Structures are given as structure tokens and as C-alpha cells.
Amino acid sequence: MKTLTGILFIAMCTTAIADQALPRTISITGNGSATSPPDMATINTGVVTQGKNAADAMKANNEIMAKLMAALKAQKIPAKDIQTSDFSVSPQYARDDRGRTQQEIVGYRVSNQVRVVIRNLPELGKVLDTLVSTGSNRVSGISFGITDSDGILNEARNNAIADARSKANLYAQALGIKVGKVVSVSESSVIAPRPQFFARAAMADSAVPIASGEQELTATIDVVFAIAD
């Protein structure tokens, strides 16, 4: 009997300790976002030429690219914002009446592509006009961004925290409990700016209408709140 009583006493103590060790908390995921107009753009542009031989195609390409680079310099775009993104020389093969490729080489194709960063966004349309008029026959992909996104990102974080606290209060009210202090906070994800095209506005004095839209940054945090006594 004494042994049984001792076992029951130990079990009761263990249960009491376990109850005290288990924290009374509520875990919430908060989501927040913030938007801002972009202040920079990136253009992928370049020149594609063809010739009967590689030398002719290369010469034609170099001549046009030299004019294009000079035009970008005239637009006061610094060299650090112009970077070669792709360069290729490829043979062109003859095709039969059915469009099937033959072994005979009939010419060469040279492609020189550059990535250009435009930091003076109101000039973007003019830069595009200049590229096309200078001889660029490839303009693919215009993306927008924010030079310093830290402030916008912090706004998204604050909104995520507010969202987590709002959800915690909502659940607490439904459960008849009160939210206490924050036990822990962890940032689970931050998504960089992605373009939103609902704000369609052409750049001022630009011959090429550009829809820059807005950039959205999002933050997701996990917050653990204590349940107040």
C-alpha cells in the first residue's frame, strides 16, 4: 500500500509540474504589405545582325552597337549601369521547301545584348526612343524597381505586426481570453518588389507611353503571444 501511495504521489507531482511547465500561448501569423512608385528601370536591349559570313555580321553589329553605346552616353547613363548580358555568333542553315533544316550554312547571325539601368525614370521614354532610332532591333523586358527599399520593407513589417496583433485579439475575444505580452517573433518571409500595373501613367514628355505601376513588398511574421491571467 505504501508503495502504491508513493507512486500516486509521484504521478500527481509530475502532473502538477507538467501543468506549470506548459505555457499558455497563442501563435499567430501576420501578413503585411506596402507599395511605392518605382524610381528606376532596367531595359534589356541590343542589336541582331546577319551576314554571309561571320566577319560581315560582326562588323555590322559592332558599328550599330558603337552608335548605341554613344547614344546611351549622350543620355548621361554611366558606364556602370550598362552591362553586356548576352553575346552570340551562330550559323544560319538553309531550309528546304518543307522548312526542314539542311546542312548547308547560308550565313551567320550575331547578337549583342546589354542590360541598361535607368535611374532617371522620367527619361525612360526618351531613352527607348533613342535606342530604337539608333539601330537597336531588340528591346525585351522592362522591369521597374526601388533604389532604396528598406523604408518600404519596414512599413510592410509594421503592417505584418499589426495584422498579427489584430488576429490575436480577434481569436482571444472569441475564446474569452486576453492577449498578454509577446513571447517570440520570427520573420518567416520577405518578398521583394514585384510590379503592379494598375497605375497606368505615361512618363512625362515621353513619346513612348510607359506603365510603371507600383512596387509591392510583403512581409510575413510568426508571433507567439502569452495568454494573460
Query: Domain limits of the chain?
Result: 22-37+149-228, 41-145
Q: For residue 23, what pLDDT is reported? A: 74
**Could you check whether 22-37+149-228 and 41-145 share the same CATH topology?**
no
Planar angle of CA 21, 22, 27, nearest 5 degrees: 140
Span 36-47, pLDDT tens digits: 999 999 999 999
Q: How far apart are CA 27 and CA 226, in angstroms?
A: 9
For residues 136 and 71, the answer to whether their CB atoms sit within 8 Å is: no
| Reported pTM | 0.66
Q: Where are the beta strands (DSSP E) in the chain?
A: 25-36, 40-51, 82-95, 101-118, 138-145, 178-196, 214-228
CATH code for residues 22-37+149-228: 3.30.110.170
pLDDT of residue 98: 79
Across 52-69, average pLDDT: 96
Comparing 213 with 18, the larger pLDDT belongs to 213
Regarding the domain delimited by 41-145, which CATH topology (the fold level of the hierarchy) does it fall under? Alpha-Beta Plaits (3.30.70)
DSSP state of 206: -
Q: What is the mean pLDDT of the chain?
A: 84
Name the residue with cell 507600383: 214
Backbone angles phi, psi at 201, to 5 degrees: -140, 125
Residue 149 — very low, low, confident or very high, per pLDDT cuts 50/70/90? Answer: confident
